[in-house]
Amino acid sequence: MIRHDYSRVDPKRRANLDYKRRQFAKAEFQQQNYEHRLNFYVLPPTAEITLEEFETWAINRLKVLSELEACSFRNKGPEETADYMKSILDKHLPLRPDSSRSQKLQEERRKDHYSHFILRLAFSSTEDLRRRFSRLETMLFRLRFKDDDPRERQEFVRSLNLEWDEVQEDEKRELKEELLAASGHKKGEEQEWFKVDWERVPELVEQRRVLLKRGKAYVPQREQMSLVVADFTKKLDDALELTARALPRLDEDDRLAPILAHLSQSFTAPDAAYSSSDANIDGLSAIRATSIDALSQNFPLCMRNLHMTLRENSHLKHFGRLQYTLFLKGIGLSLDECLMFWRRSFKLIDDDKFQKEYKYNIRHAYGDVGGDANRRGRGYTPYSCQKLLTEPQPGPGQTHGCPYRTYKPENLLPLLQRVGVTDRDVLKTVKEDVSKQRYHVACNTVFEWTHKRQIKKVADDNSWSASDLDTIVHPNTYFKRSWLLTHLGQASAGLAPAAAAPHTVED
Ligand code: SF4
């Protein structure tokens, strides 16, 4: 396999680089030895990797970070997050301790090291990306720090040489009462204290778990993790700023630029493209125009709302028709059946008007007519949640978009009740999420409540993996998963929707 330097400077050009650029060109290409499982990512990697490794490792890490972000969106607590992330980390970014005696320790640590730096390059361009990247990397570090082997963790912390001043005995005596009050400990309970500039431990200050005095935070030993994590974040934030400043000078490698652009795009818009596998549902026979009423029970609220409006008015406005047509195409409805579906649904108009005013648009959505812009005969792709949640709000009489966003709470809750969501706690959670603009979180909450029993079953008997139940980010995935769960045991064997997830950053 052809190998490529990780450095982004062409070696032939390296000799002619000016003084400032030479700092990037002079890297010594050598393999590092990773003594610890945890890493503060202070030194960039300098050994060679292939372009394929470059991309695959970055995508693997991105998958992990996206899942972590989904956990925080969904308010999962630390324990729940750790549980959920276990299989995802094992699959995409395993990192075993020394005590495992695995042959792959160095390999895993190398991948972790490189993937961090690749994403650092990809996500340092804007303030917003930097903030998100830093927050998620910090979450990942904290997760690993917590579950590290205690002895190895201590060795790692020692290796950091962090600048913490130990509080000496005379100062401890002087501040005895205040230290006791801050720690919540009783008299006689001895413990060690460190002092650091208070800005370095904002989390502890905010939670009043330290004593603040003369600009210093006095931190008890047991809060060591917060200190280490705060230091990790600070170093990463500083490094991201530096990388951002260096980015224009790094923009030299034609091979890496598209990969980095693609990575940052996936992160900016966690959009999920539709996967044609969403149309292949084990156990669901060919969908007919006449099946849609029954199938609509498994539709997400955005499509259910369109369907109900269509049935009530025998009509839908243009954008609603387009959104719904693409969704129906995405679940596997053929063009002929789709035309029949719309013809029968628009029962207040005559054939002539249907042929002239509506038929063309439906055929166009399927790619049956139209030019180059129409994706070379494949038509348009069913809309993702990301698209539906970011398009302009519908005007009067229009019903397209995501109702979690387009409806006011006083209208959304009755709509949910109408489709059978009656649990008061669920409705309350939805209301809260919607008020914080976490629309797709609200939708996932409704999905989980609706399929609570079946989700428990597939989790208990391990017939679906955790990733089969990832956060839903596409209406067509919602349908496929909902249908499969509703028909558990009825579909043919091997119905776990491994292919149901839309193409995400993993693809
Ligand atoms: Fe539809 Fe997505 Fe909104 Fe759910 S979050 S209602 S699937 S657009």
Residue-wise pLDDT tens digits, 297-337:
999 999 999 999 999 999 999 999 999 999 999 999 999 99
Expressed as residue numbers, the domain containing 132 is: 11-157+230-265
Tens of pLDDT, residue by residue over 168-193, are: 888 888 888 888 887 766 655 657 78
Give yes or no: residues 300 and 439 share one domain.
yes
Confidence of residue 20 (pLDDT cuts 50, 70, 90): very low
Q: Do 280 and 409 lie in a common domain?
A: yes
Among 389, 439, 424, 383, residue whose Cα is nearest residue 73: 439
* 464 touches ligand 1 (CB under 6 Å): no
Q: Are residues 114 and 183 in the same domain?
A: no
Same domain, 348 and 237: no
- The answer on 174 and 127 residing in a single domain is no
List residues forming the annotated binding site for [4Fe-4S] cluster: 302, 385, 402, 443
Helices (H), 147-282: 150-160, 169-174, 176-183, 202-206, 224-250, 256-268
Assigned domain for 507 exists: no
| 432 and 452 housed in the same domain | yes
Please check whether residues 187 and 335 belong to one and the same domain.
Answer: no
415: number of Cβ within 10 Å: 16
Whether 84 and 196 map to the same domain: the answer is: no
> Would 506 be classed as within a structural domain?
no
What is the C-alpha to C-alpha distance for residues 90 and 70, in angstroms, rounded to an integer? 18
Q: Is 6 part of a structural domain of the chain?
A: no
The answer on 347 and 295 residing in a single domain is yes
User: How far apart are the CA of 444 and the centre of ligand 1, in A?
Assistant: 8
CA–centroid distance, 443 to ligand 1, in Å, is: 6
CA pair distance 163, 181, nearest whole angstrom: 25
Mutation test of ligand 1: which of 299, 478, 482 has the most ligand atoms closer than 8 Å to its C-beta?
478
What is the per-residue pLDDT across 345-393, written as a single tens digit (0 to 9) for each? 999 999 999 999 999 989 989 988 865 444 555 678 898 887 787 677 8
423 and 463 housed in the same domain:
yes
Same domain, 259 and 168: no
Q: What is the pLDDT of residue 505?
A: 33
Q: Are residues 83 and 209 in the same domain?
A: no
> From the CA of 114, how far away is ligand 1's center (Å)?
35
| pLDDT of 236 | 96
Is residue 504 scored above 60 in pLDDT?
no
Average pLDDT on 127-156 reads 89
In a domain, 20, yes or no: yes
What confidence category does residue 122 fall into, taking pLDDT thresholds of 50, 70 and 90? confident
Tell me, using a 6 A CB cutoff, whether residue 156 lines ligand 1.
no
C-alpha span between 315 and 324 (Å, rounded): 12
Q: Among residues 125, 136, 124, which one has the least CA distance to residue 44?
A: 124
Domain count, the chain: 3
- Give the pTM: 0.52
Q: Could you tell me the distance, in angstroms and rounded to a whole number, from the CA of residue 452 to the centre of ligand 1? A: 18
For ligand 1, mutation pick of 443, 451, 477 (most atoms within 8 Å of CB): 443
Question: Which CATH number goes with the domain that contains 100?
Answer: 1.20.930.80
Ligand 1 within 6 A of CB of 97: no
Ligand 1 midpoint to CA 435 (Å) = 16
